[in-house]
Structure 1
Amino acid sequence: MATPEFVLALRKHIGTAPLPLVGATAIVFRDEKVLLGKRADNGAWQAISGIVEPGEEPADAAARECLEEAGVVVSVDRLALVQQMPRVTYANGDQVDYLDLVFRCTWVSGDPYPADGELTEVGFYDLAAMGDVDHAHVRSIALAMAEDDPATFRGGRVRA
């Protein structure tokens, strides 16, 4: 997976310290199926996701990631979920705290394929056949299924 240039530049200053980043996840529906990909780095099945670039609209990032990673054009329908992900520590020691913005999307065109090497397999899958998909992604898919529900804001306790 290619690390964005702006992250590499920040890492020169902060080393492996926790870095807060915004991610965009696209839950893409086509008929009764959802777009899933198998990650090249860890073999996990999940929805298409990536880092929002500086100055980029998060919904645009979700659509861009679909085209870059899976070769499909999507329309972004609505925000489905806002969640703080548990801290990720990569093999090189880099730590990242992702704020994940999950969008419901609709397939427009293109046959999915592993377009940029971040995925080894990608396609539209039956919702009933998601046994290998991480629980967090299944939850995101479930929240994105409704076409017009308001966004869900996960967790968080307001403390006085």
Structure 2
Amino acid sequence: MPTPEFITELRTHIGHEMLWLSGVKVVVFDHDRVLLVRRADNGQWTLPAGIIDPGEEASHTASREVLEETGIRCEITDLLGVGITAPTVYPNGDQAQYLDVVFKAVHVSGQPVCADDENLEVAYFSLDDRPQLPPLHERAITWALNPRPGGYFAA
């Protein structure tokens, strides 16, 4: 699912101005492998991620986004931490910055597939043989491998 409808509606009122949005990243493990997607917009490998819809619980967003993007059903097991992303300017000029809620999950069922048009590839990778990820996605994996009581809060 590309841009959520509520954001498209907001953009009709505010144009390309900065939006402060809430999003999730999900570190899904299948034993010692981590689930990654290669994004269609920039070709980078990342964790499954998405925008929280109005009124939606963040943990529900996390499992929904994993299923929509990868065909994998997962169980959310932990809230790992909360941070923010850097401001982003999209190719069409839209600006956004995200509250970044990071979850850990385990594989329940399904095979990795590109379940939407947001990604070019979906695969599980061993932790030692994964592609290079953007810094906040690496941070999420570090948090998942070294959980801290009460979670992490970015400085």
**TM-score normalised by length of structure 1:** 0.93
Residues 8-56 of structure 1 show CA distances to partners (whole Å, capped at 9, x for unaligned) of: 1100111111001000111000100100010011001000000000000
Q: Identity of aligned pairs, percent?
A: 41
Displacement of 1:131 in angstroms is 3.8
Quote the Cα distance in structure 1 between the aligned partners of 2:17 and 2:112.
36
Displacement of 1:108 in angstroms is 0.4
| Structure 1 partner of 2:39 | 39
Matched, 1:122 2:122: yes
Residues 84-104 of structure 1 show CA distances to partners (whole Å, capped at 9, x for unaligned) of: 100000011100011010000
Superposed counterparts of 1:67-82, under 5 Å: 67-82=67-82
**Number of residues of Structure 1 aligned to a counterpart in Structure 2:** 155
Residues 104, 145 of structure 1: 8 Å contact kept: no
Quote the Cα distance in structure 1 between the aligned partners of 2:135 and 2:127.
13
Return 5+ residue gaps in structure 1 as ranges: 156-160
**TM-score normalised by length of structure 2:** 0.96
Residues 80, 147 of structure 2: 8 Å contact kept: no
RMSD over equivalenced CA pairs, Å = 1.3
Residues 109-150 of structure 1 show CA distances to partners (whole Å, capped at 9, x for unaligned) of: 000100011111111101111242222211111101246743
Matched, 1:64 2:64: yes
Label 1:40 to 1:81 Cα distance change in 2 as closer, same or farther (>3 A). same
| Code of the aligned partner of 1:9 | E
Return 5+ residue gaps in structure 2 as ranges: none
| Structure 2 partner of 1:158 | none
Superposed counterparts of 1:1-150, under 5 Å: 2-146=2-146, 149-150=149-150
